[in-house]
Structure 1
Amino acid sequence: MTASLTCRAPDRASPVGQRPLGVFVTLMPQAYFVERIGGEHVSVSVLVQPGQSPHTFELTPRQMTALSSSALFFTIGMPFEKTLVEKIRTELPHLTVAQADDGIEKRIMATHDHEHDSSAPDPHIWMSPPFLRTIAKNVANALRLADPDNAQDYAANLDAVLVEIDSTDVRIRQILEPYEGSSFYVFHPAFGYFGDAYGLKQVAIETEGKSPTPKQLNGLIGRAKAEKVRIIFVQPQFDRKAAQAVADAIGGAVIPIDPLEKDVLRNLIEMAAKLEIALTE
């Protein structure tokens, strides 16, 4: 799958190959793959820093300045990127923009009632190992186009990464196969693709940036009790009060789980292990 590229860069004062290629990404999980595939040939910066939420992110003037001296920017499909890319095309026409999510068909995020869908696509594609293969290939292709002198290195590194993705996928399937069809409860609905990949269903407390109404919260509590749920997963980027309210009502616990960890493959395996515990109790 080829990465979709826009705003091709003209020749720069320092030719590619004499110094690392300056690359920006939106999220930490992207940085993991750019660094693994790019190796010594890239210098990677990240827009959304640890503890920040990409759903409320605002670009700083310093980051815009840093972008101006970069050669390549990988998007991932977060809503705020649309405005940023338009700004780049106007103010930074030399900067190449590559879509790491190119070729991925996205699911639609469910609303609180879990029966009616919103029109918003779910951007959390890095939570699915099968989609990570596409992301990695898009990264390698964009690096190759931006820096053809090191194309062989990018191809070799891609092959190694794809092997690790497949190994991670197999390991997670072994962990979660006994629980296929089960539901797991989260605060923010960032794990839909993960659930789809392994036959699980996420039940979210917060959707589309909105906490549940008292009626919806009571419905979630009733459902959690019926399904004998004892663990609610919550991301550190969000207020845990609503999740804690559900946990208190069902006599359960709130467990942290971060979909924005940089080492995405290790993080996915650790998530699977936490889910195994939650679904066993």
Structure 2
Amino acid sequence: MATITDFLINWGYWGMLMSAFLAGSFFPFSSEVVMLALLAVGLNPWQLIIFGTVGNVLGGLFNYGIGRMGRMDWIEHYLRVKPRQLEKAQRFMGGHGAWMGFFAFVPFLGSAITIALGFMRANFIISLISISMGKFIRYIVLAMSVVGLASCVSPQSASTRQITVSIEPLRYFTEQIVGDRFEVSTLVPAGSNPELYEPTAKQIINFSNSDLFIKVGNLGFERTWMKKLENNAPHTIIVDASEHIVPLKSANGIEDSHTWMSTENAIQIANSIFRALAEIDSKDSTYFRANLNRLIDTINNVDRNIQLQLTKGKSRAFLIYHPALTYFAKQYHLQQIPVEEEGREPSAAQLQQVISTAKRLHVKTLFIQREFANRNTEIVAKGSGATEIEINTLSYHWDREMVKIAERLK
């Protein structure tokens, strides 16, 4: 999906039209993401509204045409719309007929409404008018909301120097160093998956007002959105906090992007942030240096606490659903056994192999992350006899989370 989105964004207004057509038809696509990105890079809002409306209406009319054929088997097989969805749409329309096409912009229900209009052979002209009205208003509200956000930046917020970071642990490191000199905001909020996250319009605007953007280096979100964000804010300096860290691969040969999950790496990340700050604000470099030294003392204290916890006769191996502790495991001579890689669901044979390995190594702990947990964690926990323990590698409180992981390892 990200590849298709990138392609459409590169086509500008025509990409807006095509994305709106896909979203208006049966294809599960978000034209809002494309519009936000195109607004962010400076395309005219009214032209985007027009192209988006035309594309979305054409998508709705495509659905209308399929519905008008009356082939319920086609509707169910090719459009993935079940009879109960059509019935729900018809109940929603409540006998008002073609004018209910106005609500074709409603998520999930909209496609069923346009198909139902065709299926019921509603008046085409009235359907066209009502669908167009709803779609047009939808894109006006979306575009004007973004423009309004951009114009409502208060003088106070404009005078406060800003830094944007990709994830919460980077906000922790950055805030410890900048103190009260900068305001720090995070693109990927707590509880979101950094591999799939899409920034909001307000976040894109905040990004364009930032002196620095500090990224981890190779998160899925960063790979997908970095070029678009750079184009929107050419003056913002991009800092790769993991630039001097040697990348590690997990047991299955996939590079782990969770570089911050190691106290050794955390010191390198902190130093990278300090160097970037000293370059853009040399007058405060002494202040930043003092804060950096205090942060390094905290990191060293975390390291001592982890080592103390790991001397308590704990297993040297652990299970984890998503392999986020590769750097942690290497630093403390532990073995990480991942259940899945790169978001791919493991097969039954792979699950059995993981369970067998865990039994052989007498593993007692299965770390799970809320954004990745699913039914496979229960299968592995039950099969291996390991205890499920939730961790949050994206927690703002990096220092507490690192020690907590060592404490919870059995």
**TM-score per shorter chain, which class?**
0.7 to 0.9
Report what 2:395 is aligned to: 261
Establish whether residue 191 from structure 1 lines up as the match of residue 325 from structure 2.
yes
Aligned-residue CA RMSD in angstroms?
A: 1.8
Determine which of 193, 217, 233 is the counterpart of 2:351.
217
Distance 1:271 1:228 in 2: 18
Distance 1:105 1:141 in 2: 19
Report what 1:4 is aligned to: none
Report what 1:88 is aligned to: 229
Task: Give the deviation of 1:188 after TM superposition.
Answer: 0.4
Tell me the percent identity: 31
Letter in 2 for 1:80: F
Question: TM-score under structure 2 normalisation?
Answer: 0.59
Report what 1:31 is aligned to: 171
Letter in 1 for 2:223: K
Determine which of 183, 191, 196 is the counterpart of 1:56.
196
Task: Give the deviation of 1:41 after TM superposition.
Answer: 0.5
Task: Give the deviation of 1:19 after TM superposition.
Answer: 4.8
Structure with greater strand share of residues:
1
8 A Cα contact 1:231 1:255, kept in partner = yes
Work out which structure has the larger RCO, using CA pairs closer than 8 Å and 6 or more positions apart in sequence. 1
Distance 2:389 2:311 in 1: 22
> C-alpha offsets along residues 212-258 of structure 1, whole Å, 9 cap, x if unaligned?
10001111122222233333110011133111111122344311111
8 A Cα contact 1:185 1:233, kept in partner = yes
* Deviates most, 245-254 or 232-241: 245-254
Determine which of 277, 302, 325 is the counterpart of 1:143.
277
8 A Cα contact 1:183 1:201, kept in partner = yes
Letter in 2 for 1:69: N
* Deviates most, 251-260 or 29-38: 251-260
* Deviates most, 91-100 or 176-185: 176-185
Query: Per the alignment, in what secondary structure is the counterpart of residue 220 of structure 2?
Result: coil
Query: Per the alignment, in what secondary structure is the counterpart of residue 133 of structure 1?
Result: helix
> C-alpha offsets along residues 183-204 of structure 1, whole Å, 9 cap, x if unaligned?
1011100001000010001101
Unaligned runs of 5+ in 2: 1-157
> C-alpha offsets along residues 138-159 of structure 1, whole Å, 9 cap, x if unaligned?
1111111122221111010001
> C-alpha offsets along residues 130-174 of structure 1, whole Å, 9 cap, x if unaligned?
000000011111111122221111010001111111121122112
Distance 1:136 1:250 in 2: 38
8 A Cα contact 1:20 1:42, kept in partner = yes
Letter in 2 for 1:32: Y
Task: Give the deviation of 1:59 after TM superposition.
Answer: 2.1
Computing the radius of gyration from Cα coordinates, the structure with the larger value is: 2
Distance 2:196 2:376 in 1: 19
Distance 2:315 2:257 in 1: 23
Task: Give the deviation of 1:126 after TM superposition.
Answer: 0.6
Gap change, CA 1:137 and 1:270, over 3 Å in 2: same
Question: TM-score under structure 1 normalisation?
Answer: 0.84
